[in-house]
Chains A and B, each alone.
Chain A
Amino acid sequence: MEAWFAILVGLFFAGATYLLLSKKVVRILLGLALLGNAVNLLIFTAGRLTREVPPLIAPDEDAFTGPVANALPQALILTAIVISFSFFAFLLVLAFRAYQDLGTDDTDAMRLAEPVSDPLPPEGY
């Protein structure tokens, strides 16, 4: 079961990497969203996969006796989802604003912070 999930995570990473290599901001952002989901799936798989064993302690017990589902990765993923979603929302707005103000969604054409026609450094003293 874990092996299949590992392959799936790998496919997610491959797709995310492909999108991140693009010049267009929207594709880069889609790549980031995919990357975030790939990581969530990775954490989920790293916590080992089990079926239908809820992590509940029986009333007359103090600790788990049999195998149980691991609840911690789900807590980690929940945190990561919240964080990556808020970042994605911020970057989406930023990208839209960049498109409005800079008139392009091509990262190669965004050269305001580092202008192409930069003056050369002064020569000599």
Chain B
Amino acid sequence: MAVGDIDPVLAVNVASAPATLGDWLVVLPLVIPLITGAALVMLRHQMHHQAAVAAGGLVGLLAADIALLVKVLREGPVVMAMGAWKPPFGIAFTADLLGTTFATVSAVVAIAVSLYSIPTINTHERRYGFYPFLMLLMTGVTGAFLTGDLFNLYVWFEVLLISSFGLLVLGSEKRQIDGTLKYGVLNLMATTLFLIAVGLTYGVTGTLNMADIAAKARALPEGAPMVTIAALFLLAFGMKAAAFPVNFWLPASYHTPGAGVSALFAAMLTKVGVYALLKTLLLILAPQAAALSGIVVFVAGTTMVIGALGALAQADLRRLLGWLIIAGIGNMLVGVALGSEGAVTGAVLYGVHSMLVMAGLYLAAGMIEEMAGTGQLSRLGGMMAFNPSFAAVFLVLSLAVSGLPPFSGFWPKAVLFEAAVAGDAPGLAAIILATGFVTTIAIGRVFLYVAWRGGPEGTPDGTTDLVHLAPIPDEDRVARLAPIGLLAGLSVLYGLLPAPVFSLAEGSARSLLDSAGFIARALGSMP
């Protein structure tokens, strides 16, 4: 062997064969929004093309996500290592059923929001880069869902965080600046805590590949501080997911941007936090995180309660919705807390439901604010007489979020309740039912105020007062109503035919809890 040549035995151990064309599918959902986002920055002087290019990129993203989902369903988790360096040496992308499902649903929501944004965002927001920020946000969200490397996950978190800053402050209104400052500082602290946990994990295990950490963490000597690290992950991602007691940044900021941006955030950002919690606590550090399960049970219960009560205490439509997101996060955390297959299935079902329905509700709230000129519940009314079809869609979304059959909210709550009873956590089961009831009151009251009564506060019973409502211009009607109708329709479809989503969620839960299989596949010792 000549000097400078690599020993072939060594080479086989560190590098794999170049990725096949099928493996590229793993990074395609990242490449599409990233390139579209960059193209949109370059097209910043061609304002009228922006929406079309962004929509094209998002449709491509959805197609890539669906193709990847089909591949994962057929073959199990797909791994692709950058530069053909075998894991754990290279940064690996590991697309499993859980992440791919969430990524696909977020692409659907992004398409709905981009359609809604065509008439609703103003020239100012368009000029300052709404569409590039939207695409980069999707890059960050998709990357976080697909990566198999802990430090890489941190980078995607920062990508989605900086794009969300941009989207949040886009209108430069005073209250947006106020909201963004609090959102920015607290979320930056959360990602810094996450980075601390990553640094400590590296110090203890000497690796950053998720599967490799999972393998090494199970073979660590007694006394390694893995429970501390798991607690740091819990705090960092709990903050990202807006779990009690670190949830206060969400109701302080989510109602300040335009309705489309609120809908995007409501659908994706907190769910990325829950996804990361599921991944770190149930897959990577499962044995150590078991020590924290009592705390997670407490956090899940209090988050549900505080979310439901917070919703009851609000007088403003969109601020109320912010508390409903938190209540939903509490429900998803039940899955993290119990860690059984049924509970994780419920959490994934809830995640999909919450993404669709919360985005739909925020878009509907934007429509209501536009028609009535205010989001104050006391000044709303008469929507049923004014626009019955819109009121009906709003009713569907309201019933879905409160968890009534036959809409999408019912199944996840039913599965979570069953899992809580089976998992010997009667307290959580009772809280799921009680907060479901309080949520129904809170959102039911919103519907009564917004639609059922004849007009704003002070309108006598039996009369209608619609003078304060402005109709939506005819030419924009489709672009505004179609996305809300699409999301509500998907919620109804999910409620009536839950089997496909259920099998996806069950598959996700099974692969998440099978850490041995995940390690074997991600590290390449299994064909």
1/0 per residue, CB under 8 A from B, across A44-62: the answer is: 0111000000000001101
1/0 per residue, CB under 8 A from A, across B299-335: the answer is: 0000000000000111110010000000000000000
Taking CB as reference atom, which chain B residue is nearest A121? Answer: B315
CB–CB B188/A122 < 8 A: no
Does A18 interact with chain B (Cβ within 8 Å)? Answer: no
CB–CB A122/B178 < 8 A: no
Tell me the minimal C-beta distance from B502 to chain A in angstroms: 36
Does A8 interact with chain B (Cβ within 8 Å)? Answer: no
CB–CB B202/A114 < 8 A: no
A102 to B202, CA, bound (A): 43
CB–CB B175/A112 < 8 A: yes
1/0 per residue, CB under 8 A from B, across A97-125: the answer is: 11001100001001111100011111001
Chain B, interface SS category: helix
Tell me the minimal C-beta distance from B311 to chain A in angstroms: 10
A110 to B180, CA, bound (A): 11
Given known contacts A113-B255, A121-B315, A122-B445, A76 and B151 CB-to-CB distance under 8 angstroms: yes
Residues of B close to A87: CB separation below 8 A: 158, 161-162, 184, 188
1/0 per residue, CB under 8 A from A, across B181-200: the answer is: 11011001100100110111
Residues of A close to B110: CB separation below 8 A: none
A107 to B184, CA, bound (A): 13
Residues of B close to A47: CB separation below 8 A: 202-203
> Which A residues contact B (CB, under 8 angstroms)?
20, 25, 28-29, 32, 35-36, 39, 42-43, 45-47, 59-60, 62-63, 72-73, 76, 79-80, 83-84, 86-87, 90-91, 94-95, 97-98, 101-102, 107, 110-114, 118-122, 125
Residues from 188 to 225 in B contacting A, C-beta threshold 8 Å: 188-189, 192, 195-196, 198-200, 202-203
Tell me the minimal C-beta distance from B86 to chain A in angstroms: 15
A80 to B85, CA, bound (A): 23
A84 to B196, CA, bound (A): 13
Tell me the minimal C-beta distance from B113 to chain A in angstroms: 21
Tell me the minimal C-beta distance from A71 to chain B in angstroms: 13
Most A CB within 10 A of own CB, among B169, B175, B182, B445: B175
CB–CB B315/A118 < 8 A: yes
Tell me the minimal C-beta distance from B468 to chain A in angstroms: 17
Tell me the minimal C-beta distance from A91 to chain B in angstroms: 6
Residue from B178, B202, B316 in contact with A112 in the complex, judged by beta carbons closer than 8 Å: B178
A63 to B9, CA, bound (A): 12
Tell me the minimal C-beta distance from B150 to chain A in angstroms: 10
Taking CB as reference atom, which chain A residue is nearest B7? Answer: A62
Taking CB as reference atom, which chain A residue is nearest B377? Answer: A122
Residue from A29, A91, A110, A125 in contact with B448 in the complex, judged by beta carbons closer than 8 Å: A125
Q: Can you name 11 A-B residue pairings with CB atoms under 8 Å?
A: A32-B185, A32-B188, A39-B196, A42-B199, A45-B203, A63-B10, A76-B151, A79-B151, A94-B169, A94-B181, A120-B315
Residues of A close to B185: CB separation below 8 A: 28-29, 32, 91
CB–CB A97/B177 < 8 A: yes
A20 to B175, CA, bound (A): 22
> Which B residues contact A (CB, under 8 angstroms)?
3-4, 6-7, 10, 151, 155, 158, 161-162, 165, 169, 172, 174-182, 184-185, 188-189, 192, 195-196, 198-200, 202-203, 251-253, 255-256, 312-316, 319, 376-378, 445, 448-449, 457
Residue from A32, A79, A113, A121 in contact with B189 in the complex, judged by beta carbons closer than 8 Å: A32
A20 to B186, CA, bound (A): 10
Taking CB as reference atom, which chain A residue is nearest B169? Answer: A94
CB–CB B377/A98 < 8 A: no
CB–CB A83/B199 < 8 A: no
Tell me the minimal C-beta distance from B302 to chain A in angstroms: 21
Given known contacts A59-B3, A121-B313, A98 and B178 CB-to-CB distance under 8 angstroms: yes
CB–CB A91/B457 < 8 A: no
A91 to B166, CA, bound (A): 11
Residue from B155, B256, B319 in contact with A83 in the complex, judged by beta carbons closer than 8 Å: B155
Taking CB as reference atom, which chain A residue is nearest B316? Answer: A118
Taking CB as reference atom, which chain B residue is nearest A2? Answer: B203
CB–CB B184/A113 < 8 A: no
CB–CB A35/B189 < 8 A: yes
CB–CB B448/A39 < 8 A: no
CB–CB B203/A98 < 8 A: no
Tell me the minimal C-beta distance from B170 to chain A in angstroms: 13
Given known contacts A45-B203, A91-B185, A122 and B378 CB-to-CB distance under 8 angstroms: yes
A112 to B181, CA, bound (A): 12
Given known contacts A32-B185, A79-B155, A122 and B3 CB-to-CB distance under 8 angstroms: no
CB–CB A90/B162 < 8 A: yes
Residues of B close to A119: CB separation below 8 A: 315, 376, 378
Residue from A46, A79, A110, A125 in contact with B178 in the complex, judged by beta carbons closer than 8 Å: A110
Residues of A close to B448: CB separation below 8 A: 125
CB–CB B312/A121 < 8 A: yes
CB–CB A122/B203 < 8 A: no
CB–CB B155/A98 < 8 A: no
Tell me the minimal C-beta distance from A77 to chain B in angstroms: 9
CB–CB A90/B184 < 8 A: yes
Taking CB as reference atom, which chain B residue is nearest A114? Answer: B252
CB–CB A25/B315 < 8 A: no
11 other contacts beyond A97-B177, A110-B178, A122-B445, with CB at 8 A cut-off?
Answer: A32-B192, A35-B189, A46-B202, A62-B10, A83-B155, A97-B172, A102-B174, A107-B182, A113-B176, A121-B377, A122-B377
A123 to B3, CA, bound (A): 84
A84 to B200, CA, bound (A): 18
